[in-house]
Structure 1
């Protein structure tokens, strides 16, 4: 089964999400809570992963409900040390288990650390449902959940280097869009961002139902959300961007990824783009997992 693919049938279900979306959406979410309610995490070992991976549940004030994430602690983790943190976001139709138990990124990180190729780092893989990671009156304040609640919670409960320079975010497919959007709108929080087969739609919205009207209900909202357009208006000179996509990507996301890369290059933003053999599936992402980690934490 392809993990994290943005199944067309799932897109058709988005009609129930778009009702109530309006141009005032951004203003309505500006006053969302600035911090998570700090409580002790509900921890348990995550199945199918290394012993140093746990699944955690905590209360998100921005969403007014419990949310889940999996967390990988590096080999030799000690509370007296401070570690950089990588937030990795799953694809549409998947969940917080995708990157670690699904793609085995924990084992890849263990191997690279043992080989001395990456610095020890914490990896957090949060649940974002099918939200695309932005604030929405219909789906919820998922951006606030990510950049406020989740970051504060992780920094409060784990031994993190809570500086911008040591905080990274990435994702695949829908999660790639979410990572780019949140990094570009909050460049003060992240020093690196990765879009892995990111769901960057250009012109072809065939068979996506009401997806376009939900994500980009107006030209004004699109200018505030579309990573390709944000690359022109945001100050991104202090951030490093990694983009990649399979040359057989079934959604042709290489078109949007290439367009974003050209915009970043025109703005002199430090960026790289890799178009490699492969499709929009777990085989492609697993094949390139080492390259992703070397970008985020390579020595």
Structure 2
């Protein structure tokens, strides 16, 4: 009886703690992209421990197709999730606006979409210039959900001098099976007419850029997700190439409930990476 009462009391404390607002602070900043000749908003989450007297690692956290920069702090079922994790792991989290369907590459057919240049170069330069950050790949990680999962791996694979760790949650890591979806044809041209664009800009075809242990890699996907198969295919290809990585499959689909759970595991992974390298 006493044990049951203790357990109930313990669970109550956990529930209360989980509902307490985080102490992290949130900036909404206006950055500029010279490549696209426009201003772009981003959310910057600073942990409670943030100080100009210390340099902090940075996680770039990307949204999915149809989304925008503020989603990671206003669409998770518990709106405080990412802020609490930033506090727990003492890292700055940057959530840029990646356009509705940019897929985070520089479009070979539409010069107004250069989100690879923006995120991997212009935004990193802005953050390092305005915040107290570790200005090195050992202090930078990038991940995201869905389209942002593609972006997290795509940008890190192609810019290993910028990012030391990367991830994906429910990511579209092979876009070729989806030629009619998410404006991909607008960004790359129709697959039937420009197959080379699709082959060159899908994550699963970029594993040749990797060498073992150069990047810390984590990705996951739900069993019920329409991207499940392409994630398993990427996992198997990395195994074939002897590229170390963490790959997790859990129950769940393409939902915010899933991503709220997934981001906690990924931020722990990145925290461990930062602690090893800094």
TM-score in same-fold range (> 0.5): yes
Distance 2:270 2:139 in 1: 9
Say whether the 8 Å CA contact 2:176–2:198 is kept in structure 1.
no
Which sits farther off after the overlay, 193-202 or 81-90? 193-202
**Which of these residues, 214, 217, 242, is aligned with residue 268 of structure 1?**
242
The equivalent residue for 1:68 is 41
The question of whether the paired residues in 2 share the 8 Å contact of 1:71 and 1:123 is answered with yes
The question of whether the paired residues in 2 share the 8 Å contact of 1:239 and 1:269 is answered with no
Contact 1:90 1:99 (C-alpha < 8 Å) held by counterparts: yes
Residues 133 and 142 in structure 1, CA contact (< 8 A), matched pair in contact too: yes
Runs of 5+ consecutive residues of structure 2 not aligned to the other structure: 1-20
Aligned to 1:97: 70
Please state how far the C-alpha of 1:99 moved relative to its aligned partner. 1.1
Structure 1 position 246, deviation (Å): 0.8
Q: What residue is the counterpart of 1:208 in the other structure?
A: 181
8 Å CA contact 1:53–1:106 kept in 2: the answer is no
Q: TM-score, normalising length from structure 1?
A: 0.75
Cα distance in 1 between the residues matched to 2:128 and 2:122:
10
Query: What per-residue deviation string (whole Å, max 9, x for no partner) do you get for residues 170-202 of structure 1?
Result: 010001111111111111111111110001346
Q: What's the C-alpha RMSD, in Å, of the aligned pairs?
A: 2.5
The aligned counterpart of 1:132 is 103
User: Aligned ranges for residues 23-62 of structure 1 at < 5 Å?
Assistant: 52-62=25-35
Aligned length: 247
Partner of 1:6: none
Question: Partners in 2 of 1:65 and 1:210 — Cα distance?
Answer: 21
Q: Shift of the alpha carbon at 1:110?
A: 5.2
Task: Identify the structure with bigger relative contact order (alpha carbons < 8 Å, sequence gap 6+).
Answer: 1
Rate the CA distance shift 1:50–1:237 in 2: closer, same or farther, 3 A. same
2:93 equivalent among 98, 108, 123:
123
| TM-score (normalised: structure 2) | 0.80
Cα deviation digits, residues 104-162 of structure 1 (max 9, x gap): 78833554576xxx531000000011211111241421111111110000000000001
* Partner SS state of residue 155, structure 1: helix
C-alpha distance 227-77 of structure 1, shift in aligned 2 (>3 A)? same
Asked if residue 279 in structure 1 is aligned to residue 250 in structure 2, the reply is no
Q: CA deviation at 1:69?
A: 0.3
- Map residues 1-299 of structure 1 onto 2, 5 A cutoff: 52-103=25-76, 107-109=80-82, 111-112=84-85, 118-129=88-99, 130-136=101-107, 137-138=109-110, 139-201=112-174, 204-205=177-178, 208=181, 211-212=184-185, 214-215=187-188, 217=191, 218-235=194-211, 237-249=213-225, 252-298=226-272
Over residues 220-259 of structure 1, what are the superposed CA-to-partner deviations in whole Å (9 max), with x where a residue is unaligned?
A: 333421111101344464001111111111xx21111111
* Bigger-Rg structure (1/2): 2
1:77–1:195 Cα change, 3 Å: same
Give 1:34's aligned residue: none
**Cα distance in 2 between the residues matched to 1:113 and 1:152:** 21
Change (3 A) 1:110 1:55: closer
Distance 1:181 1:86 in 2: 15
